[in-house]
């Protein structure tokens, strides 16, 4: 169902202007999709909404790195454009307006892990999965700190260590259970 979305993201990720590198699709977006899908099944969230939102959550940053500070808000706008009636995914995804709005909300709220008392289940899934991915893929995120953020080694190490701690502390319990082994491994690496 999301093959056109994955193909679109593959084109964006392999474009020379993408500062995250071509590996961003496999090392982050698809990892977020996998974790978000697990959470959606466990929590009873709309799996279609979660899957599309998890794939598109960083689309604004990939399209234009200058949008990183506002990529969540800009991403919500892009979801409406991409999935709406005149967008490139309109025919393949056939989403009703309520689902498009919900996908947009998930994208807007993805930047820190949300809990079930803070937002809708779909957003809980996507926001936690984003944080889980950053814990589960340490080598990519250290690479990101060095290349995209341009941090020297020690600063990149400290930035990633802080990111892992903040994400771990923000996760819902079931998300922690899913990435507990990854967190333990990363904790050993960061000593």
Distances (CA, A) of 70 to 51, 58, 66, 67: 22, 10, 9, 5
Q: How far apart are CA 100 and CA 113, in angstroms?
A: 21
Q: How far apart are CA 95 and CA 101, in angstroms?
A: 10
Per-residue pLDDT of the chain (191 residues; tens, 9 = 90+): 459 999 999 999 999 989 999 999 999 999 999 999 999 999 999 999 999 999 999 999 999 989 899 999 999 999 999 999 999 999 999 999 999 999 999 999 999 999 999 999 999 999 999 999 999 999 999 999 999 999 999 999 999 999 999 999 999 999 999 999 999 999 999 98
R_g of the chain, CA atoms, integer Å: 16
Cβ neighbourhood burial of 90 (10 Å; 0-12, 13-18, 19+)? middle
Residue 39 structural domain: 3-189
Total tally of structural domains belonging to the chain: 1
| CATH code, 158 | 1.10.3210.10
């Amino acid at each position: 169902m999301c093959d056109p979305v994955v193909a679109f993201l593959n084109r964006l990720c392999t474009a020379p202007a993408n500062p995250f590198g071509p590996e961003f699709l496999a090392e982050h977006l698809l990892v977020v999709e996998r974790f978000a899908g697990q959470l959606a099944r466990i929590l009873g969230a709309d799996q279609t909404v979660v899957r599309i939102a998890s794939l598109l959550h960083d689309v604004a940053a990939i399209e234009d790195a200058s949008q990183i500070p506002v990529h969540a808000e800009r991403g919500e706008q892009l979801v409406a454009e991409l999935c709406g009636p005149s967008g490139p995914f309109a025919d393949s995804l056939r989403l009703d307006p309520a689902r498009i709005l919900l996908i947009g909300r998930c994208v807007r709220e993805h930047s820190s892990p949300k809990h079930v008392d803070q937002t809708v289940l779909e957003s809980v899934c996507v926001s936690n999965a984003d944080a889980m991915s950053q814990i589960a893929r340490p080598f990519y995120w250290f690479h990101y700190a060095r290349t995209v953020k341009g941090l020297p080694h020690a600063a990149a190490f400290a930035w990633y260590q802080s990111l892992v701690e903040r994400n771990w502390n923000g996760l819902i319990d079931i998300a922690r259970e899913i990435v507990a082994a990854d967190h333990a491994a990363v904790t050993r690496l960061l000593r």
